[in-house]
Amino acid sequence: MQIISGTAVAEKVLEECRREIAELTAQGRKPGLAVVLVGDDPASRAYVRSKDKKCRDLGLHSVKLELPSTTTQEELLAHVQALNNDPAIHGILVQSPPPKHIDEAAIVRAIDPAKDVDGFHPVNVAKLALEDPTGFVPCTPLGCQRLLIDAGIETSGAHAVVVGRSMIVGKPMALLLMAKGKGGDATVTVTHSRTRDLAAITRTADIIIAAIGRPHFIKAEHVKEGAVVIDVGINRVDDPTTEKGYKLVGDVAYDEVAPKCRAITPVPGGVGPMTIAMLMANTIKACKQA
Ligand code: NDP
């Protein structure tokens, strides 16, 4: 059984990024990423800080905009517009979720698609479906695909079952796996909460992508011998033995599933570190295409 280390692959991706950033900077084209946070949600704040730190670490130009929770839709749109017009900024990300009074879909649509490094703008969603390589693919599924490629998992002709159909993970993941070329060409089944007899379907999978948001949901009974399992889930569960009183677990019951697998990603240290690495890679791509 192979444990696919997202930490190791992310390091590799970030090393490539570091080299490319140095080259672009030497040409006077330093890539720039702006992360916008509205409100004071502690988890979002922590994400934004770690993105900003990673950018600076790699030599990327980083702008961190922390706006109060009272920021209006119009004010936020004005900030996005200013970033759209700023030539030093190649990637814009508005941290989700914004406060309730903000129309998130409208904000996403206001971002210049050429700077939408999250890949959530309708133009980029369409480009993914059209297999247009100039588009931006959401970072988490892009990271999952990179993990499969790096681990030498053959996706061509494989039956991949994606559990979850969100716009952030499940749906783009399915599109990536069914696209032509490396890390694609799979036969894809997408499942969700209305799927009947999920285990019967996942048991036919050569590759399972679990993006459900329920701790330890995928059990041994869901997985056939020799399957590859990518666990996207990040769930907080109470654990009084830890200092914080909780720990992070995936959507897969790792201990019972791993022995059946040809390869599996752990949580933490699997998909998680890939997401931020692919965000850096997308920002460099945006800079090169600018
Ligand atoms: P969503 O809640 O948006 O989507 C969850 C999906 O799982 C839905 O499509 C839902 O179906 C499906 N689902 C829920 N219950 C079941 C069930 N009983 N059987 C089958 N399918 C079910 O979550 P996300 O896609 O945003 O995230 C999924 C997980 O990945 C979460 O744990 C999240 O924390 C994690 N995540 C991790 C990231 C990383 O960097 N590693 C990044 C993003 C997310 P339906 O559509 O019918 O409701």
Q: Given this model, what pLDDT does residue 43 score?
A: 87
Q: Given this model, what pLDDT does residue 39 score?
A: 96
Q: Which residues in the chain show pLDDT less than 50?
A: none
Q: Is the Cβ–Cβ distance between 53 and 61 less than 8 Å?
A: no
Give yes or no for residue 201 CB within 6 A of ligand 1.
Answer: no
Provide the percentage of residues in the chain whose pLDDT is more than 70.
Answer: 100
Q: How far is the CA of 147 from the centre of ligand 1 (A)?
A: 19
d(CA 182, CA 148) in angstroms, rounded, equals 10
Mutate to test the pocket of ligand 1, among 166, 214, 246, 248 (most ligand atoms within 8 A of CB): 166
Q: Can you tell me which atom of ligand 1 is nearest the CA of 233?
A: 32
- Would strands 235-238 and 246-249 be described as parallel, antiparallel, or unpaired? antiparallel
Amino acid at 162: V
Give yes or no for residue 275 CB within 6 A of ligand 1.
Answer: yes
Predicted TM-score (pTM) of the model is 0.98
C-alpha distances (whole Å) from 67 to each of 71, 82, 84, 103, 276 are: 7, 14, 17, 16, 22
Residue 67, phi then psi, degrees to nearest 5: -105, 150
Residue 37, phi then psi, degrees to nearest 5: -120, 125
Q: Given this model, what pLDDT does residue 288 score?
A: 98
